[in-house]
Structure 1
Amino acid sequence: MRTNTEITQLLDEAQQHNLCATSTDNNQRRKFARRVACGELITPHPRMYVRPEFWENLNPTQRKRAVVQTLAILHPNVVFAAESAMCMFDVEQPYDIHPENEITVASTSHSGTHVIAKSGTIRHTVCMRNLPTVTIEGVVVTSFARTLFDCARLLPFELALPMADAAARKNFDVSLITQFPVSSVDEANKVARVVSGTDARSENGGESRARAVMENGGFMRPHLQYTFPNPNNPDFPLRVDFIWMLSDGTIIVAEYDGMAKYGATWTEVNTHVSKQYERDEYLKRCGVTTIVHFNFDDVIHPERLYQKLEAAGVPRIR
């Protein structure tokens, strides 16, 4: 399609600021729409336009942030809430909480869900009598405590806990989220579960999510980041991600193997596997009975993780 300098400039400016291009001019919208029709552009949200290659290089959190920041320009009085607010905070968060076709906003008068028929976009409205807000990069969002509270009561435990752990790692007092009113016993229980389960020792979102999945499966809570002496470098003891020390003397270790640990080449993978074998053998000499290795695929398919933990002898307490 013939180059249009006006449209190109709008796209370039938006992309430079990690935003979506948009316009209130009907003529420009028609030009955008023609480029969408021929595949040059995509529309991640109604009346927003981006180049496909730009969008593909953003992760789900960055995509949600781009949409939210663009909406804030179009609707400066809107207050974003829950996951739509969380994307603006510098806190590790699961990508799963950011479906591209959903936005959550806050209101002091009503709550509900509205589906835009033409695009299928879902707009959730969360009602709160008091509306604590902060402004981040020009976007008005609920305060971090309120945002985490809404995520804790609205999202599954395995998605909320990683954000609570991440907040605790930044020295945020997660118990502050209990100050907000709940609308049901179920909500109260979900919030309390996140608060009681939070542990700043969890090093990343994958470990946090794994711990939540273990708890969902009824397994005994593990100790985190337990250290063993390192004979090769005494100043840097060996830490294991999860450990269970049972009353009969059995010691079970579980290690979360994120793909970053393995490297990008076969040489790096082989080096990692060799080091892992040496490490496992040393842990066994330290008295560890069984070592379980699992990855993110096991976490998002819980039965796989459950089978590994059961085979290792991790007790189920419920």
Structure 2
Amino acid sequence: MRTHTELEQLCNEAERNLRCFYPTTNAIRRATHVRLQNGYIVRPFRNVYARTAYWSTLNPAEQMRHIIRALSQQFPNRIFAGISAAAMMHLDYNWKLHADGTIFIAGKTGNSKQTYRKLRRIIVADPPTSVLLSSRERGGKIRMTMAENTSATQVTATSDIINAVTITSPARTLVDCGLRYSFAQSLSLFDSAMRQGLTTTELIIDICDDMQIDCGRIFRLLYYMSPLSENGGESLCRAVIIEAGFAVPQLQRVFADPDAPWKQYRVDFCWHTPDGRLIILEYDGTQKYVNPEMTNRRSIQDVVHQEKEREDVLRKAGATTIIRATFDEVLLQTPLIQKLIEAGVPLAGAVPSFAAPTNAGWQKAC
């Protein structure tokens, strides 16, 4: 197959700017169709394309961001909403929410029969909006910034801006996601938005006040959310704990080695029980053992040895029980719940002080 220079240039530019491409001439459209048939190019959305080899290197969230940036160029007046807006803000959530490839936009009316099946509207008349701008700095690095209460069409074009995407505001995005998805699926979105300082409880409540539907699910998420949760896996783990009726744990508590106080370890979750026990739960994502950035390029044996040393210090610091849970155990729920039962983690209803988040108000970890 001969190289089509214009198409290759279009692909190169799109990949450099972290988006998919769309044909701009009939000649490129024909060349794209031929390469789509032989597998060189993939079409993840209507009139949105990418080179297959490049596309396969992207995770589901980044694939969504590439599609949305291309669509925003084609339709600059569109306001992306729901999980699509969450993806653009790099919030934490389970990538399975992108399994059907749906893109969500804000609209005054619902979908019609003529609407593309992968495009879904969230009905809202005049949502508060933000614009996510991608600009290229010296050296080629891309920087992301957010402009509040504006739209992509209002942004002054400059040579360094490579992408401008209008989304619903962080508060509105969280409300839409919280109403659509389960508590366990949504808690990580709320945790990460608060951790990044993207919105406030007051702004979310203001959104709910203007809606004529029951927002009880949102208020439950507001009650339990915490910026102390460091990643989506920890948020999901905490959601499972809460949903199963266990006492809400303290988050990110720091323990010092009694024999060497300068050695300190921070644990993911812990409980102080009424009978004086200290139960610690450590969430072990697989990245902890295989991601070079997280292991400092140490071998798995070295990482495991350090974990053993860590546990010894925690026991000297007063831990009576240490539980370890993997992502798969959290996802399946039953293995995690069984470990919590065996460790004697108290139920929320058994001790009134456990009924509320122990980090309410996100005060410092105790």
RMSD value, Cα: 2.4
| Contact 1:40–1:51, Cα closer than 8 Å, also in 2 | yes
Deviation at 1:176, TM superposition (A): 2.0
| TM-score after normalising by structure 2 | 0.78
The alignment covers a number of residue pairs equal to 312
* Alignment partner of 1:142 out of 150, 153, 168: 168
1:219 aligns with 2:226: no
Q: Residues 250-275 of structure 1: CA distance to partner in whole angstroms, max 9, x if unpaired?
A: 22110011223224699621112222
3-state DSSP class of the match of 1:229?
A: strand
Opposite residue 158 of structure 1, the aligned amino acid is A
| Contact 2:93–2:188, Cα closer than 8 Å, also in 1 | yes
Choose 2-11 or 22-31, whichever is displaced more: 22-31
Q: Residues 6-59 of structure 1: CA distance to partner in whole angstroms, max 9, x if unpaired?
A: 222221221121111212544432321221111111111112211122112212
1:190 aligns with 2:217: yes
3-state DSSP class of the match of 2:41?
A: coil
| Contact 1:229–1:238, Cα closer than 8 Å, also in 2 | yes
3-state DSSP class of the match of 1:58?
A: coil
Q: Superposition pairs for residues 106-255 of structure 1, below 5 Å?
A: 106-107=106-107, 109-112=108-111, 121-137=117-133, 138-171=164-197, 172-180=199-207, 181-185=210-214, 188-231=215-258, 234-255=261-282
| Contact 1:7–1:28, Cα closer than 8 Å, also in 2 | yes
| Contact 2:258–2:316, Cα closer than 8 Å, also in 1 | no
| Separation of aligned partners in 1, 2:201 and 2:327 | 25
Match for residue 15 of structure 2?
Answer: 15
| Separation of aligned partners in 1, 2:13 and 2:102 | 25
Deviation at 1:112, TM superposition (A): 4.3
Choose 31-40 or 96-105, whichever is displaced more: 96-105
1:83 aligns with 2:83: yes
| Separation of aligned partners in 2, 1:139 and 1:95 | 21
Match for residue 324 of structure 2?
Answer: 293
| Separation of aligned partners in 2, 1:97 and 1:103 | 11
Deviation at 1:310, TM superposition (A): 1.5
Opposite residue 124 of structure 2, the aligned amino acid is M
| Contact 1:113–1:123, Cα closer than 8 Å, also in 2 | no
| TM-score after normalising by structure 1 | 0.89
| Separation of aligned partners in 2, 1:274 and 1:115 | 59
| Separation of aligned partners in 1, 2:309 and 2:112 | 54
| Contact 1:93–1:163, Cα closer than 8 Å, also in 2 | yes
1:6 aligns with 2:2: no
| Separation of aligned partners in 2, 1:270 and 1:114 | 57
Q: Mind listing any 5+ residue stretches in structure 2 that lack a counterpart?
A: 134-163, 350-366
| Separation of aligned partners in 2, 1:262 and 1:19 | 31
